[in-house]
C-alpha cells in the first residue's frame, strides 16, 4: 500500500530530515505540511518541494502525520489528528509530562487512530543487535550513557513552548532505549541540572544518576554541551555492564570526517550507517497499515515519568522515586 504522509507543524528541527525521507520512500506519498506560522510553513514547503496546507487541509489529505510541533503544541496537534481519524507519529517527548502523555494516549485509543512516538534509536541497527545480544551479559550491574547535543536555541529555550531544557529534550532517547533494551524501568532519579553554556531560561546541563527497578545504577549525561562547531549534531552511546561482560553501543559511530577550507568551512562528520529515521518512518507506514506501533504512547509516558522525576529531583536536591 502507499501511505499518504504529512508533517504537522515544522517547528521541530527534525522535520527537515523527515521531509527528505518521505520524498524518498517508495510507498509514501508526501502530501505536504501545515504550520501555525504561515511564513515558516510556506518556506519549508517550498524548500522541500511539497504543499502547504491548513491543519484541516493536511488532516483531510493524510493517512498519517508526523507531529513536529513545539512540545507545548503537541497535544493540540495530536487531538486534532485523532478527531480527524489520522494516525500519528509524534515527535518526542509526547507532551511535557507523563500525565499529558497518558491523556494523549487515551485520546488516540478512543479515536481508534494509531499513535507511535519518534524514538529512532529503537530502529538503529546496532541498537537492535544489542537487544538481541543483551542476554549474554548475565545479570545487569551498571549502565552508563550519554546523549549530548548542541544548544538548539529558538523555542527549545523558551520554557513556555518547550516545557523545559536539556532534561526535557535529551533524557528520553537513552531512557527509552534502556527501557526497551532491558525491559526494566527507571525507578529512581537524582538530577544535577544547571545553565552553564548559554544564558537561556532553561537548563542546558542534564546529568542524571538513576537506578532501575532491579537496583542497577544508570548514569546519563543528556546535556546540551556540544559546541555548534562540533563535527556532528551530537552523540548517543550506552554501555551496559553485566556479570558476564560489557556491551558498548554507539549508535552513530559509523561516520567519517570531512575538513574544508572553503565555506562552509570546518570539520563535519558524515554518518554512513543505516538511517534510523528512515527505518522509523517505514515502520510508521506499517503501523498505519495495521501493525502495532513501534513505540506506543504507554512507553512514552513511562519515559516522561522519569523526566517528571528528574525535574522534581533537581528542585528538591535529592533522589526522587519515579511515579509509574
Partner 1 sequence: MLRVGLVGSGFMARTHLERYRSMDDARVVAVASPNTAADFVAEHGLDADTFEDATTMMDADVDAVDVCSPTPTHRPLVEAAAARDLDVLCEKPIALTLEDANAIARAAADAGITLLVGHVLRFFPDYAAIRRSIADGAVGEVGTVRARRVSPFPDWAPWYADADRSGGVLHDLAIHEFDFCRWAVGDVERVFAREHRSDGNHRGLATLVFESGAVGYVDAGWDRPPGGDLTSEFEVAGDEGLLEYDGADGQPLAIDTRGDGEPLPPPVERDGYRRQLDAFVDAVEGREEPAVTAEDAIEALRISLAARRSAASGESVAVSEVVA
Contact residues for partner 1, defined by CB under 8 A: 141-142, 144, 146, 148, 190, 192-194, 196-198, 204-205, 207, 209, 211, 216-217, 219, 221, 223, 225-227, 230, 241, 243, 245-246, 317-319
Residue 103 CB, nearest distance to partner 1 (Å)?
32
Of residues 197 and 233, the one with the C-beta less far from partner 1: 197
User: What is the rounded distance in angstroms from the CA atom of residue 123 to the CA atom of residue 89?
Assistant: 14
Of residues 289 and 319, the one with the C-beta less far from partner 1: 319
User: What is the rounded distance in angstroms from the CA atom of residue 218 to the CA atom of residue 241?
Assistant: 10
The secondary element (H helix, E strand) that includes residue 251 is none
Q: Starting at the earlier edge strand, list the strands of the sheet with 237-242.
A: 245-250, 237-242, 140-146, 217-221, 205-212, 186-194, 320-321
Of residues 90 and 223, the one with the C-beta less far from partner 1: 223
User: What is the rounded distance in angstroms from the CA atom of residue 143 to the CA atom of residue 160?
Assistant: 33
Of residues 99 and 219, the one with the C-beta less far from partner 1: 219
For residue 248, give the nearest of 105, 127, 148 by alpha carbon: 127
Determine phi and psi for 177, rounding to 5 degrees: -60, -45
For residue 66, give the nearest of 76, 77, 56 by alpha carbon: 77
Residue 208 CB, nearest distance to partner 1 (Å)?
8
Residue 60 CB, nearest distance to partner 1 (Å)?
46
User: What is the rounded distance in angstroms from the CA atom of residue 249 to the CA atom of residue 55?
Assistant: 39
Determine phi and psi for 132, rounding to 5 degrees: -65, -30
Of residues 22 and 207, the one with the C-beta less far from partner 1: 207
- b/e sequence 198-213, b meaning 16+ C-beta within 10 Å: eebebbbbbbbebbbe
90: cell is 509524534
Of residues 109 and 197, the one with the C-beta less far from partner 1: 197
Of residues 285 and 309, the one with the C-beta less far from partner 1: 309
Residue 69 contacts residue 52 (beta carbons within 8 Å)? no
Of residues 52 and 190, the one with the C-beta less far from partner 1: 190
144: cell is 552508563
Residue 138 CB, nearest distance to partner 1 (Å)?
9
Amino acid at each position: 500500500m502507499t501511505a499518504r504522509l504529512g508533517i504537522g507543524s515544522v517547528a521541530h528541527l527534525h522535520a527537515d530530515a523527515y521531509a527528505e525521507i518521505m520524498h524518498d520512500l517508495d510507498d509514501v506519498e508526501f502530501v505536504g505540511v501545515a504550520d501555525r506560522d504561515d511564513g515558516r510553513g510556506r518556506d519549508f514547503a517550498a524548500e522541500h518541494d511539497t504543499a502547504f496546507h491548513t491543519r484541516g487541509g493536511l488532516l483531510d489529505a493524510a493517512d498519517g502525520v508526523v507531529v513536529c510541533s513545539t512540545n507545548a503544541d503537541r497535544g493540540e496537534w495530536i487531538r486534532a489528528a485523532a478527531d480527524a481519524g489520522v494516525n500519528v507519529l509524534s515527535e518526542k517527548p509526547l507532551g511535557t509530562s507523563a500525565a499529558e502523555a497518558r491523556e494523549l494516549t487515551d485520546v488516540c485509543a478512543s479515536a481508534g487512530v494509531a499513535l507511535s512516538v519518534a524514538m529512532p534509536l529503537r530502529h538503529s541497527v546496532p541498537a537492535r543487535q544489542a537487544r538481541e545480544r543483551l542476554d549474554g551479559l548475565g545479570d545487569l550491574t551498571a549502565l552508563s550513557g550519554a546523549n549530548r547535543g548542541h544548544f538548539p536555541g529558538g523555542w527549545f529555550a523558551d520554557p513556555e513552548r518547550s516545557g523545559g531544557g536539556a532534561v526535557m529534550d535529551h533524557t528520553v532517547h537513552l531512557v527509552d532505549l534502556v527501557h526497551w533494551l532491558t525491559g526494566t524501568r527507571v525507578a529512581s532519579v537524582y538530577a544535577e541540572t544547571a545553565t552553564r553554556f548559554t544564558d537561556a531560561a532553561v537548563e542546558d546541563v542534564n546529568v542524571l544518576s538513576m537506578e532501575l527497578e532491579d537496583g542497577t545504577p544508570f548514569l546519563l549525561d543528556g546535556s546540551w554541551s556540544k559546541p555548534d562547531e562540533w563535527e556532528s549534531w551530537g552523540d548517543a552511546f550506552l554501555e551496559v555492564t553485566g556479570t558476564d561482560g560489557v556491551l558498548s553501543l554507539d549508535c552513530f559511530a559509523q561516520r567519517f570526517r570531512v575538513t574544508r577550507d572553503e565555506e562552509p568551512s570546518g570539520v563535519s562528520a558524515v554518518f554512513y550507517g543505516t538511517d534510523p529515521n528512515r527505518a522509523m518512518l517505514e515502520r510508521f507506514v506499517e503501523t498505519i497499515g495495521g501493525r502495532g506501533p513501534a513505540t506506543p504512547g504507554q512507553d512514552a509516558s513511562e519515559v516522561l515519568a522519569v523526566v517528571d522525576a528528574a525535574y522534581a529531583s533537581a528542585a528538591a536536591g535529592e533522589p526522587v522515586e519515579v511515579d509509574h
